[in-house]
Amino acid sequence: MKKVVMKFGGTSVASGEKIRYIADLISQHVGQGYKVVAVISALGGVTDRLVEASEQAKKGNRKYVYEFKQEVIEEHLTVARKAVENKPIQEEIEQTLQTTVDELEKVLTGIIYVGELTPKSRDYVLSFGERLSASIVWGALRDFGLNAQYYTGSDVGIVTDSNFGEANPLMDVTKHQVKEKIEPLLEKGVVPVVTGYIAATQDGVTTTLGRGGSDYTATIIGAALGVDEVWIWTDVDGLMSSDPKIVSSARMMPEISFQEAIEMAIFGAKAMHPRALEPAMEEHIPVRIRNAFNPENLGTLIVEEQKIKRGDIVKAITLVKNVVLVNVSGAGMVGAPGTAAKVFDVLGRENINILMISQSVSEANISFIIRRSLLERAINALEIALLGRGLIREVTAEDDVCVVAVVGAGMKGTPGVASRIFSAIARRGINIRMIAQGSSELNISFVVKETDGEQAVRAIHEEFELDKI
């Protein structure tokens, strides 16, 4: 195997020592004859802090912005000084970081002056995390003697629509441009270091691919180049039967299908972008999730279902937090065709993604689950569009819930899985608020109180003996 895209998450670039370590890891692979494209995430936690800084700028908080800028530059300089030993390279990187942070300060100051934070300016602010981290990795790779070059996602040709915050790559142009740009570099022995998560519209305006989007960048590039594999390096050995932070006996899965992995991603396993696997799946490129700090372990290989040797009934359980259950009710909805369409149309126009839906036979209410951060927008939009027209009477929300999703291709056509799941939950005295099973039968998800979530995950993990397989 020769050509791979390697993506390093925030957990792998969290410190100067770690960056040196991954630079070494990349250079070892290059030494073994691999052609490598490196895709880099922001340092752990930086994107969240950029979100906060942009909010503070909108509120006109100059002091916050000033202190934030100081913190960001100090933090990245400290990391860079550890990551790069060669003095001239170190100075060059420090200069780059300084210039980049000055630009960030200008953008935030602009937001303070205008007093407005548009999705467009927000994306511009959020792009700085990756621009800073990738510069440091670029320096570290050169320090290890590699011919590395730094690019943003847009530099290598990733173009998107202008759905800021969750931009969609225009795959045909992107694939063509990325290939044109990167292929010759790889031929010349260059290691391109590309910022994850960020891209641009066709007019060159900066966009982001949505949170966790660096994984997406990696598969987009992988698909464009037709690489042998995409490797997502992270801080756990692979995809596990559950979040190891919740179930200590969670087991690593050596193999899983794209469909199963996508269900897991949508439902929150490994903070992965839900669409990240699409480009790889379409081009039949295997994706490997592996532990940067335990590279002897080959991790989880995500492949097409036909290639999986054994199918377990239930493979993994994930927990989705930070969601709310919204309930739209009213007697006028009974037997009124098109009510559900109206509700979802309103939400769709607001770009609100719905994770789960259920409607009872009585038809007097529709319940659905959305991300907590979207609640206010959802309620406002629904009330403005639908209240007072005789159709719906009330829109209410419960914000202390979470979703437990049970995933496994083997559930398809296996009777009794649901009853085992729900009996295990009932034995713990946990109350279930809502249930949904997709017709794909790859996934059964249900809603419980947030405080019961972790216990529910452990109960099912135990019921299906996922620690033993």
State how far the Cα of 428 lies from the Cα of 424, in Å rounded to an integer: 7
Is the Cβ–Cβ distance between 261 and 276 less than 8 Å?
A: no
Q: Which of 2, 62, 176, 245 binds ligand ADP (CB under 6 A)?
A: 245
According to the binding rule CB under 6 A, does residue 274 interact with ligand ASP?
A: no
Binding pattern for the stretch 117-156 against ligand ASP, x by CB under 6 A and - elsewhere? ------------x---------------------------
What secondary structure letter does DSSP report for 380? H
State how far the Cα of 99 lies from the Cα of 170, in Å rounded to an integer: 30
Residue for token pair 């407005």: 116
Edge-to-edge strands of the sheet including 159-160?
A: 159-160, 198-201, 206-208
Residues 172-211 that bind ligand ASP (CB under 6 A): 196-197, 211
How many chain residues interact with ligand ADP (CB under 6 A)? 20
Adjacent-strand bridge partners of 39 = 7, 194
Q: Which residue is nearest to ligand ADP (CB)?
A: 9
Which stretches of the chain bind Mg ion, using CB under 5 A? 9, 212, 271
State how far the Cα of 58 lies from the Cα of 190, in Å rounded to an integer: 41
Q: Which of 4, 5, 10, 136 binds ligand ADP (CB under 6 A)?
A: 10
Q: Which of 212, 268, 274, 330 binds ligand ASP (CB under 6 A)?
A: 212
Partner whose binding site includes residue 240, from Mg ion, ligand ASP, ligand ADP, none (CB under 5 to 8 Å by kind)? ligand ADP
Q: Cβ of residue 207: shortest distance to ligand ASP, in angstroms?
A: 13
Is the Cβ–Cβ distance between 89 and 142 less than 8 Å?
A: yes
Closest listed residue to residue 47, CA positions, set 12, 8, 10, 79: 10
Q: Cβ of residue 7: shortest distance to ligand ASP, in angstroms?
A: 8
Q: At what angle do helices 128-143 and 119-126 cross, to 10 degrees?
A: 20
Per DSSP, helices labelled H in 286-387 are: 339-349, 375-386
According to the binding rule CB under 6 A, does residue 11 interact with ligand ADP?
A: yes
Q: Cβ of residue 271: shortest distance to ligand ADP, in angstroms?
A: 3
Q: Cβ of residue 172: shortest distance to Mg ion, in angstroms?
A: 27
Closest listed residue to residue 407, CA positions, set 222, 267, 211, 216: 267
According to the binding rule CB under 6 A, does residue 403 interact with ligand ADP?
A: no
Residue for token pair 């953008």: 107
Residues 13-52 that bind ligand ADP (CB under 6 A): 41
Residues 6+ apart with CB under 8 A from 10: 41, 42, 43, 44, 45, 46, 47
Q: Cβ of residue 150: shortest distance to ligand ADP, in angstroms?
A: 20
Which stretches of the chain bind ligand ADP, using CB under 6 A? Answer: 9-12, 41, 212, 234-236, 239-240, 242-245, 269-271, 316, 318
Which stretches of the chain bind ligand ASP, using CB under 6 A? Answer: 9-10, 41-42, 47, 129, 196-197, 211-215
